[in-house]
Structure formats: structure tokens, C-alpha cells
Amino acid sequence: MPSVVRPLPRFLTVSLARELGVLLALSVMFPFLIHVLPVPETSRLGARLLPMFYAPLLAALWGRVATAWLVALIAPWLNWALTRHPAPAGAVVMTIELLVFVMVVRLLLTRTGVRWFLAIPAYLAGMGAALAAAAVVPPLIGGRPPVAWVQQSVVMNLPGVAVLVLITCAVLRFYPPAGKGGGPATA
């Protein structure tokens, strides 16, 4: 009986698989490296610098829409599977934040092109979605008051938002896009 080679599903091309592999590796590496840095135990550097957002932001800025969505969907769970952080409830919240973050970055890219400030409204929209999820399912944030949780998170994450802005500026400077919402310009 001859063996039948079945093609990959249309959405999973070799290019997408390669991009997804690299960006998922980065989405695990960034939080791991930040958590390895020696800091006082109460500083929670990973929560402050938002390393889970770096890879989805890069994919979205480079015009890799499918990859950005998949990284946003998979990265929190891959990190949980490998490091046990974030906890499952936190991974649900992080997944919601990342999916909305990618959606808003892509929406703003198509409407305004790449601007240095794109990460700010995208992060705030992600937190708004997390607030809505926490209001509906309070155990996601440990039963704390949702509005107070979001306020504390936004203030605590300001350094991470600054890093996201710096990443956007670096992409603008060193890897400029090829038009509104598109991938990088070819040399």
C-alpha cells in the first residue's frame, strides 16, 4: 500500500511554523531571563517589566498577524507548563490581555501605521479586557476588587509599558515597516 503524504493545513506553513517556534522560544526566554535577575524577593520584576508582551508585540509590529495571535494564545500556557508561572488563573488573565493587546496593536497599525505610542493604548485595552473578565469571574484575580486590582497593576506595570514603547521605537528605527500595518520594508 503506497504511503500518502498529507499536506500541512493551509494555515500552518513552514514560514509560520518557524516564526512561531522562534517567537514562542523568545516568549519563554524573556520571562525566564528577567526572573533570573537578582532582585529583592518582593519586587516581582517579571510583573513589572511585562516580558510576556515582547514577542507578541514584535510579531504584530512585523506584520505577522497569525504568528502574533498564536503567540498571544500559547505563550502564557507554555510558560506555565515549563516554569509553573503564571498560575493557571493568571495564565487565563494573561491570555486575555495578550489577545486584546495584539488586536489593538494590529488595529492601530492598519489605521495609523507604526507609531511609537502603539503599545500604550494596546496595553490599556488589554487591562480593560482583563478587568471585564475579573468582574465576571473574580477568582481569576483571587477575589480582589477588580478596579483596585487594575489600578495597582497599571501603576506597577508602568516600567513594562516603557519597555514596550522602547521596543516599538527600536522596531521603527532599525526594522521599519513597509507601509500601514505591513511587515518590514525590504532592503
- Would 53 be classed as within a structural domain? yes
Give me the pLDDT at residue 150, please.
Answer: 97
Residue 132 lies in domain:
14-38+45-174
Q: Cα–Cα distances in Å, from 136 out to 78, 125, 145?
A: 25, 17, 11
Please write the tens of the pLDDT for every residue from 64-115: 899 999 999 999 999 999 988 899 999 999 999 999 999 999 999 999 988 9
- Would 9 be classed as within a structural domain? no
Question: Domain holding 167: CATH number?
Answer: 1.10.1760.20
- Would 22 be classed as within a structural domain? yes
- Would 5 be classed as within a structural domain? no
Give me the pLDDT at residue 45, please.
Answer: 81
Please write the tens of the pLDDT for every residue from 23-76: 999 888 988 888 777 777 666 787 889 999 999 999 999 988 999 999 999 999
For the CA atoms of 79, 83, 86, 87, the dihedral, rounded to the nearest 10 degrees, stands at 120
Give me the pLDDT at residue 159, please.
Answer: 95
Give me the pLDDT at residue 187, please.
Answer: 41
Average pLDDT for residues 121-148, to the nearest whole number?
A: 96
Rounded distance between C-alpha atoms, residue 26 and residue 89, angstroms: 22
Give me the pLDDT at residue 102, please.
Answer: 98
- The model carries a pTM of 0.86
- Would 179 be classed as within a structural domain? no
- 6 pLDDT above the threshold of 80: no
- Would 186 be classed as within a structural domain? no
CB neighbour list of residue 100: distance below 8 Å, 6 or more residues apart: 122, 125, 126, 128, 129
Contact 55, 102 (CB under 8 A): no
- Would 183 be classed as within a structural domain? no
Q: How many domains does the chain have?
A: 1
Average pLDDT for residues 175-184, to the nearest whole number?
A: 65
Give me the pLDDT at residue 134, please.
Answer: 96
- Would 62 be classed as within a structural domain? yes
CB atoms < 10 A from the CB of 163, how many?
21
- 180 pLDDT above the threshold of 60: no
Please write the tens of the pLDDT for every residue from 9-22: 566 677 778 888 89
